[in-house]
Amino acid sequence: MRKKLIIGNWKMHGTLPFVAEYLGALLQGFSPIKHADMVLLPPYVFLADTAKHLKETPIKWGAQNLAAEKAGAYTGEISGEMLAEFGCHYVIVGHSERRTLYHETDVEVFQKLTRAQEAGLTPILCVGESLTEREQELTFATLDRQLALLLQADVQKLEKTVIAYEPIWAIGTGKTASPEQVQAVHAYIRAKITAINADLANKICIIYGGSVKANNAKTLLAMNDIDGALVGGASLNPQEFLEIYRCS
Ligand code: PGA
């Protein structure tokens, strides 16, 4: 059976006092669930503090982005190796905010995925259609395009990857995709992987993101192919994030 994975993406939120208060509250309310892992993705500058608080706990942490290059003259960038030094286990690649606001292409996203794996990190590859694409029935075509490089690569790249389906129209909008809509997309993604390697398809973790809250997590996480949640806004409240984790 696949474990559930509940990931909190803080985006560009927080302060040092917030981190201390948040992690204190989280650890106070946290009791590990055997079949579910919890992961926090704070901004880079809070990774050291996060690591200090979480290092003796089962909660893992990671980052929201990494450089497409290994090292060198790339002012302002952070490499996968640097993240690994801070004890990161996971890193997001291809979040729709990066694709839209910073014009990251599928090729760049795949480079980042490769860099993450080289550094021993598990990439969380975000895919998902815009509202226009959904309305024009281009959801599956969009996913095909976003997954093409991953599915053409060697199987090893698939092995240590989390796929996060995040329909853009559901992110930060309060409009959650229905459990049935999400299930249909996740089943589609898993079927594509089955065509390459059935055993791997059975193991790969496909999570959903887009306005996941404590009040909708249970029905989403109950679906067959929804292996977890990538939580933005609601992960900023430790009590709500704990409640989502408990829905696993
Ligand atoms: P949201 O964000 O939960 O605030 O919709 C999800 C995400 O962007 O990962």
Task: For residue range 55-64, list pLDDT tens digits in order.
Answer: 999 999 999 9
* Tens-digit pLDDT profile for residues 221-246: 999 999 999 999 999 999 999 999 99
**Which pLDDT belongs to residue 87?**
98
Nearest atom within ligand 1 for CA of residue 126: 9
Nearest atom within ligand 1 for CA of residue 9: 9
Please give the positions annotated as active site. Answer: 95, 166
- Measure 166 CA to ligand 1 centroid, in angstroms: 8
Q: At what angle do helices 139-152 and 179-194 cross, to 10 degrees?
A: 30
Residue having the nearest C-alpha atom to atom 2 of ligand 1: 232
pLDDT at residue 145 greater than cutoff 90: yes
* Tens-digit pLDDT profile for residues 87-126: 999 999 999 999 999 999 999 999 999 999 999 999 999 9
* Distance (Å, whole) CA 242 – CA 235: 9
pLDDT at residue 159 greater than cutoff 90: no
Mean pLDDT of the chain: 96
From 22-26, 87-91, 154-158, 203-207, the region with the lowest mean pLDDT: 154-158
pLDDT at residue 186 greater than cutoff 90: yes
**Which of 5, 6, 9, 91 should be mutated for ligand 1, with most atoms under 8 A from CB?**
9
Segments of the chain assigned E as strands: 4-9, 36-41, 60-63, 90-93, 122-127, 162-165, 205-209, 228-231
**CA contacts within 13 A on the Cβ side of 15:** 2
pTM exceeds 0.85 for this model: yes
207 forms beta bridges with 164
Residue having the nearest C-alpha atom to atom 3 of ligand 1: 232
* Distance (Å, whole) CA 103 – CA 95: 11
- Measure 58 CA to ligand 1 centroid, in angstroms: 23
Q: Cβ < 6 Å from ligand 1: which residues?
A: 9, 166, 171-172, 209-212, 230-234
**Which of 39, 166, 216, 240 should be mutated for ligand 1, with most atoms under 8 A from CB?**
166
Nearest atom within ligand 1 for CA of residue 210: 5
